[in-house]
Chain A
Amino acid sequence: MKVGQLLSSSTTVTVLRVLVGALFILAAYPKIINPVHFSAVIAEYQLLPESFVPFVAILLPWLELLCGAMLILNIYARSNALILMVMLIIFTAGVTHNMLRGIIHDCGCFEFLSGWFGMQEEISFSTIVRDILLMLLVLPILLYGTNVFFRKR
């Protein structure tokens, strides 16, 4: 009961909105700047037909950026949380699928880590754990967040 109250409090939802929003904005930036590399990474997942890859490489980073920004500004927070949740589920399924097939490649997740800190991120068990953690952070926003345009809860 106490956990439920804590998760549903406006302070928790606000903190999570800002945290998740900032993370996704950071994740989106390098992909927006260099979509060609991101399309190569998407192709490595071998989950989409080749003709779809460029469109997904263009759409996904902007979706991350838009959702991140709107979460921070508390604009349609629940809808944005829903989008991020769906993305995370698909992404986790893709990573799990490829790991089971033994295909290891770039994650294409938080590429600013390699740009700023020289960390190379490949898909691994920790990627799946991190995604599940992110889903848990998004869930309270989806359940208890607001879904209005610029209005305090």
Chain B
Amino acid sequence: MKGRRQMGRTMLISVAITVTAGLLGLLFNMVNPNGIDIVNAGRKNCVYSTIIVEDEAINAGGMQGDSAVALQENDASGEQTVEVLGQDTAVGSAKPAPKAIAETEKLSSNELTEDKGASTEIELITLFQAKEYFDKGEGFFVDARSEYKYYELHIPGALSLSASRFDSQYEEFKDAVAKDALLIIYCHSITCPYSDIVASKLRGFGYTNIKIFADGWIEWLRARYPVQGFKVYS
């Protein structure tokens, strides 16, 4: 009986310590310059502007599929934000890919603290622009997702440089890619933070020509653009 009570007390104190640790962590995260942006979960201090959306389906008046464009205010700068959301071009349908052209998308990220004297702005590009670079064969596509995901499927010719295994993968990467080469970094989707992490680290290592393909892998897949890997689609 006494042993059970002691065990209960031990567990109760353990829960109290865990809750305290959580609260301390949240408080510290609020003042930590490298903290996680829980509210926006991923992309930080993004400043988007002037995105022209050209969706062939919308222009045709058809609204095939579930394409939608959402407008919202940018909390950081007060500028109007235009974000392309939910272009649900289902994989397997014959709908043409939506096109979105970004004139001046810039990313100013807290995660760029590792930059050494370089500008803290990295250009964001859209699906359409990424495809243009792909078609022209310009630059290197860099997959910031996990290696596991990369091996499953990736943009043809892309190099794997995952956020979590950056240090070990960078050893090979630096030998293959020149410092002034154009790098187009992508991860899973627009909310995924790994592109920012990898871009930040690459800037720190002296790479100067970096663009982030903001829409990411999911939009590339939805647009039915070419993919490469070992995953078999039924």
Contact = CB atoms under 8 A, between A and B. Distances in A.
A33 interface: yes
A40 B163 contact: yes
Contact of A61 (B10, B25, B163, B167): B25
A37 B197 CA distance: 8
Nearest to B171: A120
Helix, strand, loop or mixed for chain A's interface? helix
Contact of A35 (B6, B34, B148, B162): B34
B104 interface: no
Nearest to B13: A79
Contact of A105 (B20, B28, B111, B146): B146
A75 to B, nearest CB: 9
A36 B34 contact: yes
10 contacts: A35-B35, A36-B111, A37-B163, A54-B36, A57-B36, A66-B20, A70-B17, A80-B14, A104-B147, A120-B168
A122 B9 contact: no
A57 B26 CA distance: 10
B10 A79 contact: yes
A58 interface: yes
A61 B18 CA distance: 11
Contact of A58 (B11, B22, B168): B22
